[in-house]
Amino acid sequence: MKQRVHGTWTKSRVGVIILVAFIYGTWFNLLDSIVYCTNALTCKSIGEIFGGNQFYQPWNVFGHMIPSMLMFFFRPLKSELFVAGFLISTAVMDSPLWGVVRLLRGSPLWHADQAGNHVPTSDLGEWITYYYNPFGSDLVWDSYWLLPGFPTSAAIFWSLVLRFVLAALLVWWQNKQEAVGREFSITQLLARRNLGASVVN
């Protein structure tokens, strides 16, 4: 019987990752909810303030690598800790917590009127129903990112679900492999794949 390898996912590590990701995701929600309003109906989001989503969102994504870097203080060094931290941090930021933070700051949320236009609302439930509609096809941001009409509410909802599921599956699968003495490493898998591609070429 194979001896169990050093476990990557101890309770303390999982707890630290969740705590750090939650704190950073919440802090980023505070930053991301900054708006500049000239009146009750005309407000600029932080994305617009910094030149639009095409410029702002890449920095937004890159910012979530900051808390993930803390995972490299764990020993042994595992890339999976970084990946899980990044997934959870971005998921926390994109969760309905963002809307709660925005309302606490006194900034309006939005939903779609009968004509499909974004209109302000202070009703959190109304915003959640619109913003996280798993079948919605409307653009839910003030301007698109990457592709015209993206992200839709369905894209927001399912990407959020996917990030939480991937983080949970990573922890479960790696822990399962290590329990029977097998090493599991995303870095090694990618290296083997690249090596195989090089040999074929």
Q: What's the CA gap between 86 and 66, in Å, rounded? A: 9
CA distance 165 to 184: 18
Extents of the domains making up the chain: 11-200
Q: Kind and range of the H or E element at 18?
A: helix 11-32
Residue 120: its H or E element: strand 118-121
- The candidate with the shortest Cα–Cα distance to 84, out of 163, 27, 23, is 163
Residues 121-165 pLDDT 10s? 889 999 999 999 999 888 888 777 878 888 999 999 999 999 999
The highest-confidence range among 74-78, 86-90, 150-154, by mean pLDDT, is: 150-154
